[in-house]
């Protein structure tokens, strides 16, 4: 068997992994207090705001921000903020607007605009990275989630830096982690509706290195429309990953975004908790989400 055809080794040897890990742990910040960056004008961010946003993303692949209330409902303000961080190429989907902004809200009571996808309900969303089913040339490098309206209760997001999760996995199951880099670790069957192919079959690894040498992760806890490689090591690795995600890891951050606040991240692993909306239609939970090809801060 030609090993190189079936695997994509992430690190050439243990020493390379150890130095990557050391660098990551040295830079990583476990602090959770006061880490939201206030942005006065998202159309023209100040140098100190830019430096703080980028510093936090380099440390843990995400940053939380808060806009001046004047801009809290403006999709254009979010797009502009992202552009200044190097996020140019938006990735749309059938549910997003023409400008590729998705309005994430519970549409189950809206017969004219219903959706069969869980993000558009008030149900919990299990741990995943965005666009895990997208081909290499459209893979989601980063995304922003911006809160326009908070739910009446619930709707928190939990986040974990995928690089820190990789380090945990390596420590927990060093003999299993390689199986998550197999090029056929996960298969997403084609999405065909009324004879029209909305998405072709995708096959890929959970962990890979992107062309710039950054760790990339494709993952979902969903059970339907995903086929894991039938291999004992892959099954064990996935169950180890799932048990890590259900443990109270110190790297996990739980946030409940308020109006005007958002998460910018390099497509880290995240989930959403269930929520209850207010009876008032104008106060329903609403997030704007925009996905990008680029990673944050790679100008």
The residues that touch Fe ion, with contacts defined as CB under 5 A, are: 130
- Provide, rounded to whole angstroms, the least separation between the CB of residue 178 and Fe ion: 27
- Provide, rounded to whole angstroms, the least separation between the CB of residue 9 and Fe ion: 28
53: β partners: none
Return the H-helix or E-strand segment holding 199.
Answer: strand 196-199
Return the H-helix or E-strand segment holding 16.
Answer: helix 14-27
User: Cα separation of 201 and 218, whole Å?
Assistant: 15
Q: Measured from the CB atom, is 117 or 200 closer to Fe ion?
A: 117
Contact by Cβ (8 Å): 214, 267: no
Q: Measured from the CB atom, is 178 or 293 closer to Fe ion?
A: 293
In degrees rounded to 5, what are phi and psi of residue 85?
-100, 10
Q: Measured from the CB atom, is 130 or 277 closer to Fe ion?
A: 130
Taking CB positions, which residue lies at the least distance from Fe ion?
Answer: 130
Q: Measured from the CB atom, is 140 or 182 closer to Fe ion?
A: 140
3-state secondary structure of 208: strand
What separation in angstroms does the CA of 28 have from each of 58, 60, 92, 164?
8, 6, 31, 9
- Provide, rounded to whole angstroms, the least separation between the CB of residue 1 and Fe ion: 36
Contact by Cβ (8 Å): 240, 176: yes
- Provide, rounded to whole angstroms, the least separation between the CB of residue 150 and Fe ion: 18
- Provide, rounded to whole angstroms, the least separation between the CB of residue 269 and Fe ion: 9
Q: Measured from the CB atom, is 179 or 220 closer to Fe ion?
A: 220
Q: Measured from the CB atom, is 229 or 270 closer to Fe ion?
A: 270
3-state helix, strand, coil in the chain (%, to 5): 30, 25, 45
- Provide, rounded to whole angstroms, the least separation between the CB of residue 95 and Fe ion: 13
User: Cα separation of 158 and 144, whole Å?
Assistant: 14
Q: How many CB atoms lie within 10 A of CB 221?
A: 16
- Provide, rounded to whole angstroms, the least separation between the CB of residue 41 and Fe ion: 28
- Provide, rounded to whole angstroms, the least separation between the CB of residue 78 and Fe ion: 16
Q: Measured from the CB atom, is 63 or 176 closer to Fe ion?
A: 63
Q: Measured from the CB atom, is 65 or 143 closer to Fe ion?
A: 143
Strand 125-128's sheet: what is its strand order?
125-128, 269-272, 157-160, 253-255
Contact by Cβ (8 Å): 252, 165: no
Q: Rounded to a whole number, what is the largest CA-CA distance in the chain?
A: 62
């Amino acid at each position: 068997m030609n090993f190189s055809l079936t695997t994509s080794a992430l690190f050439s040897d243990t020493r390379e992994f150890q130095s990557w890990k050391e660098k990551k742990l040295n830079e990583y910040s476990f602090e959770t207090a006061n880490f939201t960056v206030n942005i006065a004008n998202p159309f023209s961010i100040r140098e100190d705001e830019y430096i703080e946003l980028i510093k936090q993303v380099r440390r843990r692949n995400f940053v939380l921000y808060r806009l001046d209330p004047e801009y809290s409902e403006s999709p254009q303000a979010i797009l502009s903020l992202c552009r200044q961080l190097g996020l140019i190429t938006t990735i749309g989907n059938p549910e997003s607007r023409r400008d590729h902004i998705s309005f994430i809200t519970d549409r189950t009571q809206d017969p004219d605009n219903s959706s069969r996808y869980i993000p558009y309900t008030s149900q919990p969303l299990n741990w995943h990275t965005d666009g895990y089913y997208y081909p290499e040339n459209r893979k989601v490098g980063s995304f922003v989630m911006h809160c326009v309206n908070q739910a009446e209760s619930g709707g928190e997001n939990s986040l974990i830096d995928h690089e820190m999760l990789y380090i945990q996995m390596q420590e927990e199951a060093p003999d299993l982690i390689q199986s998550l880099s197999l090029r056929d670790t996960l298969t997403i069957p084609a999405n065909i509706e009324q004879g029209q192919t909305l998405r072709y079959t995708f096959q890929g690894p959970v962990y890979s290195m992107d062309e710039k040498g950054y760790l990339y992760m494709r993952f979902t806890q969903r059970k339907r429309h995903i086929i894991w490689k039938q291999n004992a090591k892959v099954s064990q690795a996935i169950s180890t990953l799932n048990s890590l995600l259900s443990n109270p890891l110190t790297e996990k951050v739980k946030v409940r975004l308020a109006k005007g606040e958002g998460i910018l991240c390099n497509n880290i692993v995240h989930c959403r908790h269930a929520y209850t909306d207010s009876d008032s239609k104008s106060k329903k939970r609403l997030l704007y989400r925009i996905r990008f090809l680029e990673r944050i801060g790679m100008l």
